[in-house]
Structure 1
Amino acid sequence: MVYRMEIYVDGGCRGNGQPDAIGTAAAVFAGQYGGLEGFTKVLPQHPAPTNQRAEITAIIIALAHAIAKANGLDARNPRCVQWIYKWTQNGWTNAAGFEVANRDLVEQAVDLDGRLKELGTVRYTWIPRSENEVADRLCNEVMDNL
């Protein structure tokens, strides 16, 4: 039996990069038999929240919870995890030749990614915003309540 985790992530920021900005991150796990389980985090005020920091934080939330869930599964069965991923391929240099922004969070995500890959196969899939409404809504609800 293959365990499959389907995880949707999103991050949002209002006042992107400004001192009074607010940001949140969300990871939503789709249940095997329906249902959703969401996890959120409000970004700290320092460094100032940005959209990118929120997105990477959402990935970190997803990976940490996926590892916790995988550790509770029957170790004899393989695992397949899906979510969104698009960082770390260029030696910490972006396409413009500058250092990758938010490297602290990216490195944390890479570490968690490696730990999860030790437990089984991991596949990342970008999906359009229209298919990620639950995680987006969860971020906005948290920001609305701040």
Structure 2
Amino acid sequence: MNKNRKLQIWTDGACKGNPGPGGWGAYLVWGEKALELCGGEVETTNNQMELTAVIEALSAIKRPVPMVVSLDSQYVKNGILEWMPQWKKRGWKTAAGKPVKNIELWQKLDQLVSTHDIEWKWVKGHAGEPGNEKADELANRGVPKKA
């Protein structure tokens, strides 16, 4: 086994209207193996779907392995790398003293992140990066169709 091998994960969210029907997608690649995950909600926001995509991807991992999570959401990237440590110090409040939006999702993500060795990578969305395009396709597939 290659000790330098890392699990590659791409995540994305999609929303038709904001709020509105939304979907999330995650594409996980480990060597020759790939896993496609997607789902959605009838009434949600794009940010909630971006967070859910990362949560679902990390929840699917059964044992700790080094990984690279690539995402096109500045909201999630900044939340994890910059804002979350401060929110936690302030009891999950923003700098303005208001409750953090989507707190349940952020807290679940915080719990999952603490158990994994993750390298975060921001990628430009809709720019032809194959993993990101696949995650976008999955997110759109997850958007519930109207009955």
When the two structures are superposed, what TM-score results if normalisation uses the length of structure 2?
Answer: 0.73
Residue 16 of structure 2 is aligned to residue 24 of structure 1: no
Matched to 2:45, the amino acid is: T
Give the deviation of 1:144 after TM superposition.
Answer: 6.9
Give the deviation of 1:30 after TM superposition.
Answer: 2.0
- Relative to 1, partners in 2 of residues 1:104 and 1:31: Cα closer, same or farther, differing over 3 Å? same
CA distance in 1, matches of 2:97, 2:13: 25
| Moved beyond 2 Å, runs of 4+ | 92-100, 141-146
Matched to 1:8, the amino acid is: W
The structure whose RCO (Cα within 8 Å, separation 6+) is larger is 2
Alignment coverage as a number of residue pairs: 126
Matched to 1:86, the amino acid is: N
Matched to 1:55, the amino acid is: E
State the match for 1:51 in structure 2.
46
State the match for 1:108 in structure 2.
108
When the two structures are superposed, what TM-score results if normalisation uses the length of structure 1?
Answer: 0.74
- Relative to 1, partners in 2 of residues 1:100 and 1:126: Cα closer, same or farther, differing over 3 Å? same
Percent identity between the two aligned chains = 25
Give the deviation of 1:102 after TM superposition.
Answer: 0.3
Q: CA RMSD in A?
A: 2.2
Pairing partner for 1:64 from 38, 59, 62? 59
Pairing partner for 1:90 from 86, 89, 110? 86
| Structure 2, gaps ≥5 residues long | 72-76
